[in-house]
Chains A and B, each alone.
Chain A
Amino acid sequence: MNNFTEVDILLVEDSPSDAELTVRVLQKNHLTKKIKVVTDGEEALDFLFSRGLYKERSMNAVPRLVLLDLKLPVVNGLEVLKEIKSDERTKIIPVVVLTSSSEDMDIFKSYQLGVNSYIVKPVDFDIFNKAVLEVGMYWLFLNKSPFK
Chain B
Amino acid sequence: MNIDLRTLILVLGIANFLQVIAIFLQYRINRTYPGIGWWLLAFLSLAVGFIFTLLRDGLPIKLITIIAGSTLTFSGPVFMYIGVMRFLGKKENRKMVIWLYVIFLLLYFYYTYVIDDINARSVISAAIIAFYSFLTVQKLFVYKQRSITASANYLCVAWFIQGSFFAFRAVDLLIASPVSGYFTPTLIQAATFLFVLIISTLVTFGLIIMVNQRLNAETREAKEHFELIFHTSPDAALITRLNDGVIVNVNEGFSALTGFTRDETLGKSTLDINIFTDPADRQKIVDKLSAQGICVNYEAIFQRKDGSRINGMMSAKVFPLQDIPHIISITRDISAQVREEEEIRQLNAELEKRVARRTAHLEAANKAITTFTYSISHDLRIPLRAIAGFSQILMEEYHNKLDGEGQRLLGVIQQNTHKLDQLINDMLALLNMSQNKLKITHIDMTDLVNTVYHETASPEEQEKFIFDLQPLPEIEGDVALMRMVWTNLISNAIKFTLPKDERIIRVGGKHEDGMNVFYVMDSGVGFNPKYAHKLFGLFERLHKADQFEGAGVGLAIVQRAVQRHRGKVWAEGVPDEGATFYFSIPLRQDNP
B392: Cβ under 8 A from any A Cβ: yes
Q: In this assembly, does A60 line the interface, its C-beta being within 8 Å of a C-beta of chain B? A: no
Stretch with Cβ within 8 A of B (4 or more), from A29-37, A46-54, A88-96, A124-132: A124-132
Q: Which residues of B contact A100 (CB under 8 A)?
A: 378, 381-382, 385
Q: How extensive is the interface on chain A, given as a class? A: 10 to 19
The digit string for A53-75, where 1 denotes a CB below 8 A from any CB of B, is 00000000000000000010000
Report the separation of the CA atoms of residues A15 and B389 in the bound assembly, to the nearest whole angstrom. 13
A21 contact set on B, CB distance < 8 A: 385-386, 389-390
A125 partner, pick from B378, B389, B424, beta carbons under 8 A: B389
Partner of A17, one of B374, B383, B392, B421: B383
- Do residues B382 and A18 form an inter-chain contact, with CB atoms below 8 A? yes
Q: Which residue of B lies closest to A71 (CB)?
A: B378
Complex Cα distance, B492 from A20, in Å, reads 39
The yes or no answer to A24 lying at the interface (CB within 8 A) is yes
| A142 adjacent to chain B (CB < 8 Å) | no
A125 and B385 contact, Cβ closer than 8 Å, known pairs A17-B390, A24-B393: yes
Give the residues from 92 to 148 in chain A that come closer than 8 angstroms, CB to CB, to chain B. 100-101, 103, 121-126, 128-129
Centre residue among B378, B384, B424 by max chain A CB count within 10 A: B378
CA distance A129 to B393 in the complex (A): 11
Q: Are B392 and A126 in contact (CB under 8 A)?
A: yes
Which secondary structure dominates chain B's binding surface? helix
Q: How far is the CB of A78 from chain B (nearest CB, A)?
A: 15
A124 adjacent to B382 (CB under 8 Å): no
Shortest C-beta distance, A118 to chain B (Å), equals: 15
A122-B418 Cα distance, complex, nearest whole Å: 12
Task: Report A-chain residues with C-beta under 8 Å of the C-beta of B418.
Answer: 124
Q: A124-B421, A126-B392 are in contact. Are A18 and B374 (CB under 8 A)?
A: no
Give the docked Cα–Cα distance between A17 and B387 (Å): 9
Which residues of A have CB within 8 Å of B421? 123-124
Instruction: Pick from A17, A71, A103: contact of B389, CB below 8 A.
Output: A17
Chain B nearest CB from A25 CB (Å) reads 9
Q: Are A18 and B386 in contact (CB under 8 A)?
A: yes
**What CA separation (Å) do A21 and B378 show in the bound complex?**
17
Is the pair A121, B393 in contact by a Cβ cutoff of 8 Å? no
Task: Contact check, B374 vs A121: say whether CB atoms are below 8 A apart.
Answer: no
CA distance A120 to B206 in the complex (A): 120
Please, how many angstroms separate the alpha-carbon atoms of A31 and B424 in the complex?
Answer: 32
State which residues 339-387 of B face A: CB under 8 Å: 374, 378, 381-386
Q: Quick one: which of B384, B390, B391, B392 contacts A123, CB cutoff 8 A?
A: B384
Q: Is the CB of B382 within 8 A of A17?
A: yes
Interface status of B388 (Cβ within 8 A of chain A): yes
Measured CB to CB, the closest approach of chain B to A38, in angstroms, equals: 17
Instruction: Tell me which residues across on chain B come within 8 A of A71, comparing CB atoms.
Output: 378
What is the distance, in angstroms, from A15's C-beta to the closest C-beta of chain B? 5
Residue contact B382 to A15, C-beta cutoff 8 Å? yes
Chain A nearest CB: distance from B551 CB in Å? 15
On chain B, the residues within 8 Å of A18 by CB distance are: 382, 385-386
How far is it, in angstroms, between the C-alpha of A110 and the C-alpha of B384 when the chains are bound? 25
B410: shortest Cβ distance to chain A, in Å?
A: 13
Residue of A nearest to B377 (CB): A100
How distant is B387 from chain A, measured CB to nearest CB, in Å? 9
Contact between A121 and B381, CB atoms less than 8 A apart: yes
User: Of residues A24, A124, A128, which shows the largest number of chain B Cβ atoms within 10 Å of its Cβ?
Assistant: A124
User: What chain B residues lie within 8 Å of A122 (beta carbons)?
Assistant: 385
CB distance from A108 to the nearest CB of B (A): 16
C-alpha gap A100/B390 in the complex (Å) = 18
What are 15 A-B contacts defined by CB distance under 8 Å? A15-B382, A17-B382, A17-B389, A17-B390, A24-B393, A100-B378, A100-B385, A101-B378, A123-B388, A123-B424, A124-B388, A124-B421, A125-B391, A125-B392, A126-B392
Which residues of B are interface residues toward A (Cβ below 8 A)? 374, 378, 381-386, 388-393, 418, 421, 424
Nearest 10 pairs of A and B residues by beta carbon: A17-B386, A125-B389, A125-B388, A21-B389, A125-B392, A123-B421, A100-B378, A100-B381, A15-B382, A123-B381
Taking A121-B385, A123-B385 as known contacts, 6 extra A-B pairs with beta carbons closer than 8 A to each other, sorted by chain A number, are A21-B390, A71-B378, A123-B381, A123-B421, A124-B388, A125-B391
